[in-house]
Structure 1
C-alpha cells in the first residue's frame, strides 16, 4: 500500500525535524551531517519569509521526507529556493517543487524575466530528471572547499609592506565599512545582489556575528584595500564568508595574506577545519588562490534556474 502523503507549511517548532532531514540528506550527499539547528532556525525566522505561504513539509506515512522554502531578497523577479528530499520519494519531491514554483510565480508577478533558483549538490538526492523535465537548466557550479588547520602550522603571517589589519569588534562605522567593501569588491561577481546595510545583515544572518573575526586591510595612500568576513558559528568547521580585494589593488598578495590570517585566527581558536564556497568561473582567480593555499574540493553545488512564465 502506498503511504498517504500530506503537505503542510512549516512552523518554528518544526526546526529540529527539518534539521534532522537536512542532515540525513547531508550524510547521503557529502558523507557527514553539516547542518546546524541555528541555521535552520535563521531560515525559518528570516524577515522576508512568510512560513504560511513560503514553506512546505511533505510527509509520507507520517515521516518527514521533503522540505521546501522560497524567498525573494535578491531584487525584482529573482526567487531563491531550498529543496531537500530523501531518495526514493519522487512524489513528495514533485509535490513540494510544484508548490514552490506556483508561489514563485506569484512572487515574481509583473516581472518579465522572473526566475526561480535552486542550489543543489552536484550529486543530489533529488532526481534531476524532475528538474530537466520541468525545464530547469543548470547555470553555474560552485565548489565548497576545505582545509585542515593546526595552531603549530598556521601561525599569523607577516603582512605585505605597509599593510595593516584591524578587526571590526568595536566600531559600528567599521562594520558598515565592511558592507561597503563587500558591495564594491563583489559587484562584478555572478549572482551578486546589491543590498542596503540592514537587508545585508538579514541576508547573512549577521546580527549575531562575532565581528572580531572580520577584518579590514588598509594600505598607506590607498585607504581600505580589502575585507575578510569569517565566522565560527558552524559545528563542522570555521567558515570564510567573504574575501574581497579592491580591483585596482589585486595582485599584491593582499588576498593571500588575509586568507592565511583567517586560517591562523581560527586555528588559534581550536578549529581543525576551515571552509568556503567559490564560483569555479570567478574571473578574479579566486579558485586558484584557494588551491594555492591548500584548500581542496569538499563537494560541488550547481545552481538550477527555471524561467517563471506567468502561466506555468
Structure 2
C-alpha cells in the first residue's frame, strides 16, 4: 500500500546536524516549483551520466519524478548549496518496497576533489539516516540502501567503497535496432496467438484506465517470475502501480499479458472466467532529443509452469513489432550479467547487444 504520509524525515538537518562543509555551504531541499533549480538538477544528472558512460540521456521529466510534490509520499531529497546558493550535490531516496530503499547520489563534476568528497560524505550520512527512518516506519531490523554506478565511474566506486557499500551485481544495458519490416514479426502486436498462448495488450475501455483484473494479473505474474531472482523484495500491488505510473515513459498501450488458452499444465489456475496468465511485459517510451523515439523493456517475466513454451521470445517479438509499427529506432532492456538463467543468450540471439554496463551497490543499515 502507498502510505498516506512519507516514511522519510523531511528535515535534512535532523539527519545531518553538523555537516563537514566549509563556511557558507548549506544543506537543504530542492524547490520543484523553481525552474532554475530543476534545470540545475538536470544539468548535474546529465553531467553524471556523461562522465559515467559517455553521453547524457536524462531529461527534466526524469528529475521531476524524484522531486515533484506528486512523488514525495515515497521519495525524499537533499541538496548541498555553495555560498552563492548554487546546488552542487543532490541525493534522492525512494521507498521502493519493504526492506529496499533506492538511492541516487550525485556530486558536481566541476568541484575540486576535497570539497566534492565532503559533499559526498554529507549525502551518505543523510541516506543512512533516511534508511533508519523508513526502516523504523516499516518495522524492520535492517534497511537496505540500493544504489547504482556506471562501470567506468572510478570516483563513484571509491566513494561507495569507503562509505561501506559493497558491489553486488553487474548489469548489461542492451539495445537492438528496429527495422520497419519487423512489424511482421507477429501477426498483430495488439493481440495474437500461437501454440495455445495468447499475447495481448491489457484490456482498456477508450482512453481510461485498463481493466484492474489485467493489471493485477501483470503484477502477480511479475512477482511470481522474480521471486527467486537477485534482490527480489515483495512489492504490493499499490506500490507497483504507483511507481510505474510515475515513469515519464509510461504508456498503458505498452503493457502486454500472455494467457494460456489451450494445453494448460496442472497447477496453473485462474479466477473463474479467465485464462491462466503466465507471462507479462511492461514497456515504456524512451525519448531521443535528436531523433525518433525508442521502446524499452522495463519488465518481462514468465511463471515457472510456462517456461520453455516460447512465451518470453513471443513477448520480445511483440514489442519489437510494436516499435516498428510506431517508427521507433530501437528497443532497449537491462539484463543481470550474473543471472543463472543466462537470459542474455536469448537476447543476443534476437539481436540485442550490450551498449554500456552498470553496477548495483548495497549497504545494510541497522534500524535503531
- Work out the CA distance in 1 between the residues paired with 2:29 and 2:40: 13
TM superposition score normalised by structure 1: 0.87
Q: Displacement of 1:4 after TM fit? A: 5.1
The verdict on how the C-alpha distance between 1:283 and 1:65 changes in structure 2, with shifts beyond 3 A counting, is same
**Equivalences for 1:225-304 in 2 at 5 Å?**
225-232=278-285, 234-235=287-288, 237-304=294-361
1:40 corresponding residue in structure 2: 63
Listed one character per residue, the Cα deviations across residues 221-279 of structure 1 (whole Å, up to 9, x for unaligned) are 33322111111254463210111112122122221121011111012211112111121
- Work out the CA distance in 2 between the residues paired with 1:37 and 1:282: 33
The CA RMSD over aligned residues, in Å, is 2.5
Larger Rg: 2
**Equivalences for 1:42-121 in 2 at 5 Å?**
42-44=65-67, 45-49=70-74, 54-60=76-82, 62=84, 63-76=86-99, 78-87=100-109, 88=113, 89-109=116-136, 111-121=140-150
**Equivalences for 1:170-249 in 2 at 5 Å?**
170=204, 171-172=210-211, 173-205=213-245, 209-219=250-260, 220-222=262-264, 223-232=276-285, 234-235=287-288, 237-249=294-306
**SS state of the match for residue 188, structure 1?**
coil
The count of residues paired between Structure 1 and Structure 2 equals 306
1:17 corresponding residue in structure 2: 40
Q: Displacement of 1:137 after TM fit? A: 0.9
The verdict on how the C-alpha distance between 1:265 and 1:11 changes in structure 2, with shifts beyond 3 A counting, is same
TM superposition score normalised by structure 2: 0.75
Maintained 8 Å contact 1:48/1:71: no
Aligned pair partner of 2:152 in 120, 123, 134: 123
Q: Displacement of 1:90 after TM fit? A: 2.3
- Work out the CA distance in 2 between the residues paired with 1:126 and 1:203: 30
Runs of 4+, deviation exceeding 4 Å? none
Maintained 8 Å contact 1:85/1:125: no
Q: Which moved more, 1:290-299 or 1:89-98?
A: 89-98
Listed one character per residue, the Cα deviations across residues 70-103 of structure 1 (whole Å, up to 9, x for unaligned) are 1323214x33211112334222222222222222
Structure 2 regions of 5+ residues with no counterpart?
1-21, 188-192, 205-209, 265-275
The verdict on how the C-alpha distance between 1:189 and 1:124 changes in structure 2, with shifts beyond 3 A counting, is same
- Work out the CA distance in 1 between the residues paired with 2:161 and 2:321: 44
- Work out the CA distance in 2 between the residues paired with 1:149 and 1:70: 35
Q: Displacement of 1:212 after TM fit? A: 1.8
Structure 1 regions of 5+ residues with no counterpart?
none
1:142 corresponding residue in structure 2: 171
